[in-house]
Every structure is written in C-alpha cells, then in structure tokens.
Amino acid sequence: MTRTRCDSYYAASIVEESDYPRLEGEHRVDVAIVGGGFTGVATAVELAERGYRVAVVEARKIGWGASGRNGGQVTGSLSGQDAMAKQMPRTLGDAAGEFVWNLRWRGHRIIRERVEKYAIPCDLKHGHLQAAYKPGHLMALRKDFEESQRHAIGEHVHWLDAGAVRRVVGTELYHGAIRNDYNMHLHPLNLCLGEARAAVSMGAEIFEHSPVARIEHGERPAVIGEHGRVTADSVILAGNAYHRLERRTLGGRLFPAALGIVTTAPLSAELAAEIDPDDLAVYDTRFVLDYYRLTADRRLLFGGGANYSGRDSHDIGAELRPRLEHTFPQLAGIDIDFQWQGMAGIVINRIPQLGKLSDNVYYAQGYSGHGIATSHIVGEIIANAVAGSLEEFDAFANVKHLRIPFNDRLGNSLLAAGMWYYQLLERLR
Ligand SMILES: Cc1cc2nc3c(=O)[nH]c(=O)nc-3n(C[C@H](O)[C@H](O)[C@H](O)COP(=O)(O)OP(=O)(O)OC[C@H]3O[C@@H](n4cnc5c(N)ncnc54)[C@H](O)[C@@H]3O)c2cc1C
C-alpha cells in the first residue's frame, strides 16, 4: 500500500479515513476549490450550506497539508492583528478596530457550531493558557488581558500569577499567564475530514490524488488536472504553502516555514494530572514559541521552533526533545512515538492574504501559524464574496503586502534573517 499521509499521531488516530475519487473527465459546478485543507474544506461547507454546487480538488488527501498536522490549538491569536488595526481603517473606517477584535473570536463560533451540527468526532475541548516566558513579557500579556476585560469575552478570561500558573501546568518556567476558557483544542485532521463529509452530505464533490496543474481564467474559469477538469463560475485557490500555482502574481508573497511536532507515549494518569491537570492547551509568549497539549489518549503533543529555510528538518525528535524536557524535566527520557512536520505559510506583516487573481478567481493563504480559526473565518468571508458581499473580503484584499522580488529560496533566506533579528530583539527584552 502506498503511504498517503505523514506518520503523525493524527494520521494514526483517524476516526474515518477519506476515500474520494480522482478527478477524471469533465465536471461543471458553481465553485471549484483547489486544496482540501481547512481553507478549502471550510469554504466548501459554507458554500454548500448556501446551496452552491461545489467541487474540492486536492492533490493528495483531505487534510494532507498543515490542516492535518498542526498543534490543534484554536486561539484568538489572529496573526497580524496589530498590522490589521493599522491597515484596515482604509477600507472599513472607524469600524476597523471592532472588526479586528471580533475576527479573533469568530472562528471559534464557526468551528463549535459546525462540530455540533454535523456531529464531528474531533476531541474538542475548551481551555488554553498563554504563558509569559520571561518577566519582560508580562506587560504585553497584561495589556491583552485588560483588553479582553473590556469585551464580552472577558468572563472567559482570567489572569494567573506565577503561583497560580504552577497549579495548572507542572513546570516552573512561567512568570504569569492568561487563561482563556473560550479558546479550544482539538484533533485537527478529524475535524477537517468531518467537515469534508459534511460538505459531501450537502452535495459537494471531492477529488483526491488530483493535483491541479493550472487554472484557466476567463468568463467560466476551470481547474485543470492530469485526467480531468472542473469548469465553474468561480475558482478559489486554497493551496497555502504547498502549491506552486500562479507564481506571476503570488510568487514572493508567502514563505513556507517547516514546523515540527512530537507526540510522546501515553502518560500515566498521575503524570498527566501533574503536568496538565485541567487539560489546557498551552503556548508561551515568545516570537517563535513552544506549544503543547494532551491528546485524548493522554500523550503530550509538543511543538516548537521553526525552520524558515523552506526545506524539511532532518530529525524533529532530536530537535524538540531538549525543549520538551526543559519544560517538563519529569518527562526526561520519555519515548517519542510520533514525530512529523508541516509547512505553514508565513506572511511578512502576518496579515492573512486574500485577493483575486482575476474577476472570478480568488485566493486565500498565509495565516502565519495561526490558521485553524482563521481559515474558518476566511471560508465565511470568501463565501460571502462569491455571493456578492465583498466588504470584508476587500478589507483584506486592500491590505498592502510586501513582495520580495526574488526566487522563493532567496526570499526564505531573507525571511530567516528577519526572524533571527526579531528573536534577537526578544532576547534583549
Ligand atoms: C506544525 C504546524 C503546527 C501548527 N499549529 C497550529 C495551531 O496549533 N493552531 C493554529 O491555529 N494553526 C496552526 N498551524 C497553522 C494551520 O495549520 C494552517 O494555517 C492551516 O491549516 C492552513 O490551512 P490551509 O487549508 O490554508 O492549508 P493546508 O492545510 O496546507 O492545505 C493546502 C492543501 O492544498 C493542497 N494543494 C496544494 N497544491 C495543490 C494543487 N496544485 N492541486 C490540488 N491541491 C493542492 C495540499 O495538498 C494541501 O492539502 C500550524 C501549522 C503547522 C505546519
């Protein structure tokens, strides 16, 4: 049997594997979507719910990319929120501040309602900690906490001092934290597969193992595969960091970063209760952060660091073990059962990139490592745009993005240098 997914904990704990046909022959739909990650699948659900005929064309398997490999943390950390607050008034005027704040939480509602409506088994749990890694990080964290108290979300958000943090996470590392019980964590691959089933139950077509070679633009655009094509009224390109389509417009805008994750052997009930008694997902306040949580079968799923070279890392386990054991010395020497990596799409100003490649061909990409909630928001925004309501879409499409006019490898080297600079600044804080 050919290996169709990376050897992740998620792939090993799929509830219902997908098995959709290859794209063959001619198909005609209202909207054709390239890419079967959260962006593609969440948009397909939105559109199918509104009665559109949709086809999703995926190069490998549903959830094969970042969506089926990530940390599973659904948080209000929209990437680029400060940059958005500066740029969006251009389109939204005074409403921009409230728009950006609400964006941070809108994806949570979509995911929660969808999991309930379509009974998707994805181990969804509430509870998250953002923990201050250095005393110098406390002030910004406290500011974020105070902002939360001025909004309805405030009742779910609590400030923990260093002593209180130690009662909910078994490490001495942190100097304070925000506990947010509105945030969630879940099994992202099972969510993505469940959403794909929901789309199909409403008439959507899905094709797997069907790489799209090119998009044909025109009054009736089409996505062209090796053995078939889908003609549509609109096309949405949702390939994120994994595709090479439309380089003339999209080249130099998005940079792939390889992020690694490990999963330990299952912990005893006592050890799990010692390190994470409230079953919270956790990440720290660094620019390139560590993030972790317990899985449903009590493994520690731990991610951290990033490789901006655009190439794969060699030994994720060896890279992450020291970080894991530094956080939890009580886990020294624990077996690592799974290790894998995935490509996230990094944007220089960290604002998600939404735009049009021609009148009826849209693209959405670049959530800079915070894409579970964001991709679901984007699905809603693009479905609204296809239906003719463009205001929110335009708020993103009108954002100015820096384009690095070099090939991707050189672009990634520049990005790596930039990230190194930010991390250096952070060390000085
Ligand atoms: C290791 C890791 C940890 C992360 N942790 C978190 C986290 O805890 N919380 C969070 O919010 N975000 C996290 N993220 C980010 C999040 O996973 C992504 O932002 C999100 O999944 C992006 O979804 P997407 O659908 O846009 O892209 P992807 O999921 O990458 O999907 C793109 C799909 O397009 C397909 N494709 C590409 N080219 C073609 C083509 N030519 N034809 C057809 N199909 C094509 C690919 O095969 C792929 O399936 C993490 C990312 C990584 C890599």
Tell me how far apart the alpha carbons of residues 176 and 129 are, in angstroms, rounded to a whole number: 10
142 & 220 share domain: no
pLDDT score at 85: 84
φ/ψ bin of 305: left (φ > 0), alpha (ψ from -120 to 50), beta (otherwise)? left
19 & 165 share domain: no
215 & 99 share domain: yes
Q: Which residues line ligand 1 (CB under 6 A)?
A: 34-40, 57-60, 64-67, 69-73, 211-212, 238-243, 245, 259, 261, 291, 303, 342-344, 365, 367, 369-373, 375
CA of 69 to the centre of ligand 1 (A): 8
Q: Is 347 helix (H, G, I), strand (E, B) or coil?
A: coil
172 & 47 share domain: no
> What is this structure's pTM?
0.95
Pocket test of ligand 1: the residue of 41, 242, 350, 365 to mutate, having most ligand atoms within 8 Å of its CB, is 242
Tell me how far apart the alpha carbons of residues 121 and 193 are, in angstroms, rounded to a whole number: 10
Atom number of ligand 1 nearest to Cα 40:
25
Tell me how far apart the alpha carbons of residues 391 and 320 are, in angstroms, rounded to a whole number: 43
133 & 236 share domain: no
139 & 221 share domain: no
Which structural domain, as residue segments, surrounds residue 42?
1-123+188-251+353-398
Largest CA distance in the chain: 63
238 & 328 share domain: no
Residue 339, strand partner residues: 262
Residue position matching structure tokens 């000085």: 428
Atom number of ligand 1 nearest to Cα 64:
49
Taking CA atoms, 4 is separated from 33, 72, 198, 429, in Å, by 21, 21, 22, 44
CATH at 48: 3.50.50.60
CA of 347 to the centre of ligand 1 (A): 14
298 & 245 share domain: no
Strand pairing class (25-28; 73-74): unpaired
> Tokens for 400?
């100015």
Q: How far apart are the first and last CA of the chain?
A: 52
Atom number of ligand 1 nearest to Cα 61:
49
CA of 155 to the centre of ligand 1 (A): 32
CA of 123 to the centre of ligand 1 (A): 20
pLDDT score at 255: 86
CATH at 180: 3.30.9.10
CA of 343 to the centre of ligand 1 (A): 7
86 & 130 share domain: no
Residues contacting residue 86 through CB under 8 Å, at least 6 positions apart = none
Amino acid at 349: N
pLDDT means per 10 residues, the chain with 429 residues, are 84 98 98 98 98 98 98 87 85 87 93 98 98 96 94 95 98 98 98 98 98 98 98 98 93 90 98 98 93 98 79 84 97 98 90 96 94 96 97 92 69 62 56
> What's the domain count of the chain?
2
Tell me how far apart the alpha carbons of residues 46 and 312 are, in angstroms, rounded to a whole number: 33
* Strands (E) located in 86-204: 125-131, 157-161, 176-185
298 & 260 share domain: yes
Residue 355, strand partner residues: 363
Pocket test of ligand 1: the residue of 223, 367, 381 to mutate, having most ligand atoms within 8 Å of its CB, is 367
Tell me how far apart the alpha carbons of residues 323 and 343 are, in angstroms, rounded to a whole number: 20
86 & 134 share domain: no
146 & 134 share domain: yes
CA of 36 to the centre of ligand 1 (A): 9
Angle, alpha carbons 393-399-401 (nearest 5°): 130
Strand pairing class (176-185; 157-161): antiparallel
pLDDT score at 427: 58
pLDDT score at 381: 97
- Supply the DSSP symbol for 20: P
pLDDT score at 285: 94
Q: To the nearest 10°, report the CA torsion of 104, 110, 116, 122.
A: -60
Atom number of ligand 1 nearest to Cα 372:
11
Tell me how far apart the alpha carbons of residues 211 and 274 are, in angstroms, rounded to a whole number: 46
CA of 342 to the centre of ligand 1 (A): 8
Atom number of ligand 1 nearest to Cα 281:
8
